[in-house]
């Protein structure tokens, strides 16, 4: 496995960089590589059980994270990691399948570790992803989550996302219970950009 992610050749935004969050907290942000597999698994296993129920992919499993890295290496996923003093604080990913009829869409996934919540990290990571989305040739970003994830829904609404659909009984959690799925979208041109 490579330790250098495949990035669009026209990518203007450079990483690593420092993000300034609420209360004066600063985190370093960089691209995820194959060297981060064990760190991602450990991060996921430290998440509250409620968060784990609604992960789109069970990243507490090594195989799932290895497949994630394969998508990064294939140029289908771009993932930014936020770190503070060597500790993984959160991540934001943009997933895209260049060979499908939805190749103009990117799916946003954001996760922030419990100790780092309430500082604006999720919103800052999302803005970083929004800044690189046009360089991936994307036209629209999609977010999907169960209706109970009110913080995630609020984050997307503040960024200009609108609810497109509620799919009933579309999600099954780790315990086998089904839930609805909220689908939200925003045109890339309308997304708030992170400052350079």
The pLDDT assigned to 6 comes to: 66
* Residue at 167 is within a domain: no
Could you tell me which residues come within 8 angstroms of residue 22 by beta carbon, excluding any fewer than 6 positions away? Answer: 118, 119, 120
Q: Determine the structural domain holding residue 34 and report its residue range.
A: 17-141
- What is the chain's pLDDT, residue by residue, as a tens digit (196 residues)? 456 666 766 788 889 999 999 999 999 999 999 999 999 999 999 999 888 877 888 999 999 999 999 999 888 899 999 999 999 999 999 999 777 888 899 999 999 999 999 999 999 999 999 998 888 889 999 999 989 888 889 989 999 999 999 999 998 877 888 989 999 999 999 987 777 7
The pLDDT assigned to 1 comes to: 47
* Residue at 23 is within a domain: yes
What is the C-alpha to C-alpha distance for residues 193 and 124, in angstroms, rounded to an integer? 10
* Residue at 177 is within a domain: no
CATH number assigned to the domain comprising residue 104: 3.40.630.30
Strand ranges (E), the chain: 17-20, 26-31, 77-84, 87-95, 105-112, 140-145, 162-172, 178-187
* Residue at 78 is within a domain: yes
Local structure of residue 115 (DSSP, 8 states): G
The pLDDT assigned to 175 comes to: 82
The pLDDT assigned to 4 comes to: 64
Residue (of 132, 179, 137, 187) closest to 162 by Cα position: 187
Number of domains in the chain: 1
CB of 141 within 8 A of CB of 95? no
* Residue at 161 is within a domain: no
* Residue at 100 is within a domain: yes
The pLDDT assigned to 3 comes to: 65
* Residue at 186 is within a domain: no
* Residue at 36 is within a domain: yes
């Amino acid at each position: 496995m490579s330790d250098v992610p495949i990035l669009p050749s026209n990518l203007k935004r450079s990483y690593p960089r420092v993000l300034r969050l609420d209360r004066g907290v600063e985190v370093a942000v960089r691209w995820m590589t194959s060297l981060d597999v064990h760190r991602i698994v450990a991060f996921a296993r430290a998440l509250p059980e409620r968060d784990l129920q609604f992960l789109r992919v069970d990243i507490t499993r090594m195989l799932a994270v290895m497949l994630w890295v394969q998508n990064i290496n294939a140029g289908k996923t771009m993932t930014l990691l936020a770190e503070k003093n060597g500790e993984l604080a959160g991540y934001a990913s943009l997933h895209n399948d260049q060979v499908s009829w939805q190749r103009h869409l990117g799916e946003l996934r954001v996760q922030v570790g419990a100790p780092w919540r309430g500082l604006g990290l999720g919103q800052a990571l999302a803005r970083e992803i929004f800044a690189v989305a046009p360089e991936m040739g994307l036209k629209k970003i999609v977010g999907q989550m169960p209706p109970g994830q009110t913080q995630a829904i609020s984050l997307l609404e503040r960024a200009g996302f609108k609810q497109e659909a509620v799919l009933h009984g579309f999600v099954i959690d780790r315990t086998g219970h089904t839930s609805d799925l909220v689908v939200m979208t925003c045109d890339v041109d309308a997304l708030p950009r992170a400052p350079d």
